[in-house]
Chains A and B, each alone.
Chain A
């Protein structure tokens, strides 16, 4: 059987020390036995490493930041579409998802498919709505409050015990042990991600994460839990191992069947010292460690592409338990000429 030709545009090529999911997603797609993919990178910054990984990314185009508005993004995507005839776009940044969800229909009309949650699904799992999410679906979550000012935060912190988690609207989370620390994180987070900042109860325990894929009908197509083995100073997994724990699968099944989530998702959980499972965050996209799932037998990026194309995908039933990933960094040598072409023409 010949492999199906497909042109897939992917964002999140920032394969840096706190990597975006773009490159692991592409590796999954490249390893598919059924797909013959041309990969178009979509980059925000000139130094996203994926741009220069020519064996993985066929061509890259610069696109405007989400903050510039979805119309600017759409216009640029249409320009790229006219040259590349895109079949699919896989957005990989939390901050851009809002724009892509809003553009879903217009993109579909132009012939570009996406596989994304609805705006309601996207909003309700927002960090700032996590408490309500827990109540609605009967899931244990840490107590959290949105704060809009230092004063607000001061009021909130009075009724809490340190340490607390201080989290940005889209990304970044810090553990604060004092009000002064919390205040400095507050400034840092608002400067980068705007308001609000979320103050969350700190749960002591072991962190486990789940990468999962839903079909929008309530079915869980893929689900691989991972225990972080080594965490960087930015809170990212540098090493992890697949684990087998039925309560994790049950939780994922419950969330997907209740919310009918469509697309990739990462669940961040903490098993507390009293053995209770807390959901601390839901990321609305595939995480950067997804290649561990691929290596363990669930090629989630490939499944995502197939679902997007409308190909029937049977739910995965197994994966290798005890598979590990160890992340490493690698210095590529890049010609100035390439950089110059990218900065002056916006494509490479």
Chain B
């Protein structure tokens, strides 16, 4: 799982996709997750780190992470899995 290389990501949570011209904003948790993906962390590690930081049960967390990743996919921000 990788964010497309050309995606511009700014500190304040603004995302720009140069190949489509779309721009996006994220909330804080969204920003954290996308940063961790960018750093190369895998889904298990991200889930672990989020669970440590936030008051949330494992099921809920996994469900909403999957949801978020699906959004990234729908918006064409992820590299296609090989």
Contact = CB atoms under 8 A, between A and B. Distances in A.
B29 interface: no
Contacts of B8: 336
A341 B10 CA distance: 10
Contacts, number: 19
Q: Report whether over half of chain B's contact residues are helix, strand or loop; otherwise say mixed.
A: strand
A129 interface: no
Interface string B3-23: 000001010111010000001
A143 B10 CA distance: 57
A121 interface: no
A339 B16 CA distance: 11
A344 B23 contact: no
A144 to B, nearest CB: 44
Chain B: number of interface residues, binned into ranges: under 10
Nearest to A345: B12
A344 B13 CA distance: 7
For A339, A340, A341, A345, the residue with the greatest tally of chain B CB atoms inside 10 Å of its CB is A340
A32 interface: no
Contact of A339 (B12, B13, B23): B23
A343 interface: yes
A266 to B, nearest CB: 36
A300 B16 CA distance: 42
B25 interface: yes
A333 to B, nearest CB: 15
19 contacts: A336-B8, A336-B16, A336-B23, A339-B23, A340-B10, A340-B12, A340-B14, A340-B16, A340-B23, A341-B12, A343-B14, A343-B23, A343-B25, A344-B10, A344-B12, A344-B13, A344-B14, A344-B25, A345-B12
Interface of B: 8, 10, 12-14, 16, 23, 25
